[in-house]
């Protein structure tokens, strides 16, 4: 997690704690939930999408993008920066690396060449 994101989440957590205190008994503590509903309960996927995700995308002029597109972009950007596919698999929460390698293999076509270069550089 980047330092910037960590700082933003810490600030949001403080806001959330203060908001929960204001609501008192009306607040339901859903431990570990980063973005709960108005009264602390777990926010449904469709509610998150309609209340937060779509309005933000519209503000940015990106309302044609889906949540799945963001996951795909995340994986693509990481792999294009030569991040190990195993790390990408873990970040996306896939149970195996197979899907990552099958879906994004076109992004890492030079792996064989890089492996040969690495061995050549060892001077063995």
pLDDT means per 10 residues in the chain (124 residues)?
92 93 92 86 87 92 90 90 92 91 79 82 83
pLDDT score at 3? 92
Q: How far apart are CA 41 and CA 92, in angstroms?
A: 25
- 24 C-beta neighbours (distance < 10 Å), count: 7
The residues, any chain, with a CB within 8 Å of residue 38's CB and separated by 6 or more, are none
pLDDT score at 112? 73
pLDDT score at 109? 67
Q: How far apart are CA 43 and CA 104, in angstroms?
A: 31
Could you tell me what percentage of the chain is helix, strand and coil, using 3-state DSSP and rounding each to the nearest 5?
65, 0, 35
């Amino acid at each position: 997690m980047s330092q910037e994101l960590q700082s933003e989440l810490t600030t949001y957590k403080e806001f959330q704690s203060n908001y929960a205190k204001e609501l008192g008994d009306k607040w339901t503590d859903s431990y570990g939930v980063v973005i709960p509903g108005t009264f602390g309960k777990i926010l449904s996927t469709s509610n998150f999408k309609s209340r937060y995700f779509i309005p933000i995308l519209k503000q940015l002029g990106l309302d044609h993008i889906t949540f799945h597109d963001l996951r795909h972009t995340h994986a693509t950007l990481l792999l294009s920066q030569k991040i190990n596919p195993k790390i990408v698999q873990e970040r996306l929460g896939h149970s195996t690396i197979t899907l990552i390698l099958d879906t994004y293999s076109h992004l890492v076509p030079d792996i064989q060449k890089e492996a040969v270069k690495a061995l050549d550089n060892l001077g063995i």
